[in-house]
Each structure stands twice: as C-alpha cells, then as structure tokens.
Amino acid sequence: MRWLIDGYNVIRRDPELSGLDRRNLEEGRHALLRMLARVARVSRDDFVVVFDGVRRSAGSPPALRVRTLFSRPPEKADDVLIRLAREGGPGVAVVTSDRAVQEAARRARTAVVGADAFLERISVIGSAERRSVEPQWSDRTEPDEPVAPRGPKKGNPRRLPRRERQARKALDRLHPRTE
C-alpha cells in the first residue's frame, strides 16, 4: 500500500510536532519524517509526504520507503495529494483531516484516514518499537465527523460503513510484523 500524507496537516494535529514546527519549519518536517521512518521499518508500505512550498535545505537522506514531495507554486499540497490519489486509486491511503481532500480521495476510491487516527497508530508503533513489545490495538476508530442519516439503512447493522472499514483496513496494515 502507498500512503499519501498531508505533511503540514499531520504536523499541526500533533502537539509535539506542532511545537517543533512553530520553532522551526524544518524541525517539524524532520520530526515527522523520523516518525515515518520508524513506521516504515515495521511496515511493508511506502509513504509519500506532501508539503506546500519549496525545500530549503538538502536535509538528511530520505529513509527507506519514505519520500518527500513539495508542491510547486501555484499548485498546493492539497492539489498534489488529490492528483496522486486519482493516479493511485484503490491501492492508496490518504492521510489528512482536510475535508475537501478527503472527499476528493473518496471519489478516487482510496482509503481515507484522519490525521488524528494516523498519529495515534504511528505513536503506538513508535513507543512499542522503543519498548520492544507488542502494541495494544484499539478495536474502535473514531470517525472524523458525524454522518447525517440518509433514510432507512439497509444491510447488516453490525457492519461498519465502507469508509470506516477502508480506513481501519489501511491502519491495520501498519501493525508491526513480529517474525
């Protein structure tokens, strides 16, 4: 699976990353990339982090399976994410809390994961890796926003909606492999 991550959106949803970002933009980006590098070590997935603007420094070499893209003006990171989601289709998961990007990604039939749910999952992986123990996974994922009822429901009432099943399936891929 390929993860498309709205870089600044994710950074600004996490208190620690946000604090680093306010101090120095580069520090916030590097901290997010380090988190993703830890996740990439235990996952077989690829991660593409999209940022607005232009890279100011060469920085450290990219981690295995973690790539960084910068939008070129007048294009915004949101535009890049939407384009990549359309190109990738069902084999892609888009991580953002931006509603417009989420809707466009859903139209492209990709899995959509909120930034908060993603951060929660990767922080569990990072802390489990530091402690070298199996993480405890929650069976519940919180929806990003309430969904208004659309009339009488059909189907199994115990089954999660397709959007939530897609997001959960994508997040479950991040579970560290113990071999």
Q: Given this model, what pLDDT does residue 48 score?
A: 95
Q: Given this model, what pLDDT does residue 138 score?
A: 43
Residues in the chain: 179
This prediction has a pTM of 0.75
Classify residue 65 as left (phi > 0), alpha (psi -120 to 50) or beta: left
Ranges under pLDDT 70 in the chain: 55-63, 126-151, 153, 175-179
Q: Given this model, what pLDDT does residue 16 score?
A: 93
Q: Given this model, what pLDDT does residue 131 score?
A: 46
Q: Given this model, what pLDDT does residue 132 score?
A: 46
The CA angle 89-91-92, to the nearest 5 degrees, is 75
Q: Given this model, what pLDDT does residue 149 score?
A: 56
Radius of gyration of the chain (CA): 17
Domains of the chain: 2-143+154-172 (3.40.50)
Q: Given this model, what pLDDT does residue 137 score?
A: 42
Pairing of strands 46-51, 111-113: unpaired
Tokens 């959106």 map to which residue? 9
Strand order across the beta sheet in which 111-113 lies: 66-70, 46-51, 2-6, 92-95, 111-113
